[in-house]
Amino acid sequence: MQYTCQGANIAPPLTWSTRLEAALVVDDPDAPSGPYIHWIVAGIPSGSGSSGDGQTPAGGTTLPNSAGQPAYTGPCPPANSGTHHYRFTLYQLPKSYELPDGLAGVQAAQTIAYAATAQAQFVGTFG
């Protein structure tokens, strides 16, 4: 619960490994108005890494989420909206790839997904 709006609303600890630079997108595809982006971290260096409670992956840059904030916003589904799925997707990006400036929310997430050469995903639920 500490990673949701009902708790401390902090980013969960993560562990990853990627051969190339990566980006992390956390989204809720079950949001009533379409996918809701909770967190985007671009520029995660290649190799193995981890982050602790409330930390952004080292070397990464947080982009604006669907709320327009460059931060993690934890799960907080509307009342009586059922169980929501929260996807944590790590996208491996091409060596020469540079994310265009000014992207946020769904547009940034889609741009990252289209450019990805590989991805890994886990899904949690809350509701």
Q: Is 5 inside a domain boundary?
A: no
Does residue 6 lie in a domain region? Answer: no
Residue 7 belongs to some domain of the structure: no
Domain assignment present for residue 50? The answer is yes
Phi-psi region of 23 (alpha: psi -120 to 50; beta: other; left: phi over 0): beta
Domain count, the chain: 1
pLDDT tens for each residue of the chain, 127 residues long = 899 999 999 999 999 999 999 999 999 999 999 999 999 999 999 999 999 999 999 999 999 999 999 999 999 998 888 999 999 999 999 988 888 889 999 999 999 999 999 999 999 998 8
Q: What is the pLDDT of residue 97?
A: 86
> Is residue 4 included in any domain, yes or no?
no
**pLDDT in the model for residue 1:** 83
Are the CB atoms for 93 and 124 separated by under 8 Å? no
* CATH number of the domain encompassing residue 94: 3.90.280.10
Beta bridge partners of 84: 126
Q: What is the pLDDT of residue 122?
A: 94
Give me the pLDDT at residue 86, please. 96
What is the model's pLDDT at position 36?
A: 97
Q: Indicate the residue type of 102.
A: G
- Work out the widest C-alpha separation in the chain, in whole angstroms: 45
Supply the range of the domain harboring residue 21.
14-122
Query: How many CA atoms within 13 Å lie on the side-chain side of 71?
Result: 10
Residue 1: inside a domain:
no
Tell whether 2 is covered by a domain.
Answer: no
